[in-house]
Structure 1
Amino acid sequence: MPDPVPLARVKDLLTQEAALRTLPREAALALQHAELFVRLPAAETEKLIAELRTLPNVDAGLAVKLADTLPEYPDEIRLLFSKERVPLEEAQVTRVLEILAQFR
């Protein structure tokens, strides 16, 4: 399975492609979506993902989800972790919130 791509990187790729040619409708909609929802530049997003990956039970996919959404509340983090079927301790939630707060 290929590595997940953060939305900030998608925005950069589509912006570069749009400078070269007219994007197909689907790609233009994806670019519009990325421009609307990207909250960090691609370089900052990569740093955030790298830091999140150092935590236990945080794989590449979950790190990208956390970086794309930048949750602010513990319940939002628990919701993203719920699909992982991993017991999540309060200390882990607090640590994720601390890391995310550094990049806001």
Structure 2
Amino acid sequence: MSTPSARRVIRLFPDYSRDWPLWENSTSTWDVGYTTTPAMYGLSDALTGAIGEWNTLWESQFDPFDGWKSDSAREAWREAGVEIAKRPQAEVAEFADVQYEPWPLGGDGD
């Protein structure tokens, strides 16, 4: 009898100098490294574009020392993130779960 493979968990959060805010802890079943890309999950072009725009917005509007350039930038990024976080789950439901971690907001992003 074979052991069932562990379900993958794709983490969604931004980090400095990364093109994609996608991460995954490797397991004995899935050795993917830590930093991942939309192509590794077969994400649609539309979702890939939305994730890229969301990450670009964060990089242009959030500074690690000074924080958000404005409350409106923070809110725009928060709103976009809540919507984007819902979308990957539908595309990877067969093999993974998505964990949204919008750390620059200081909570779960809602």
Q: TM-score, normalised by structure 1?
A: 0.32
Q: Give the strand-richer structure, 1 or 2.
A: 2
Structure with more of its chain in helix, by fraction: 1
Question: Under a length normalisation based on structure 2, what TM-score does the superposition of the two structures give?
Answer: 0.31
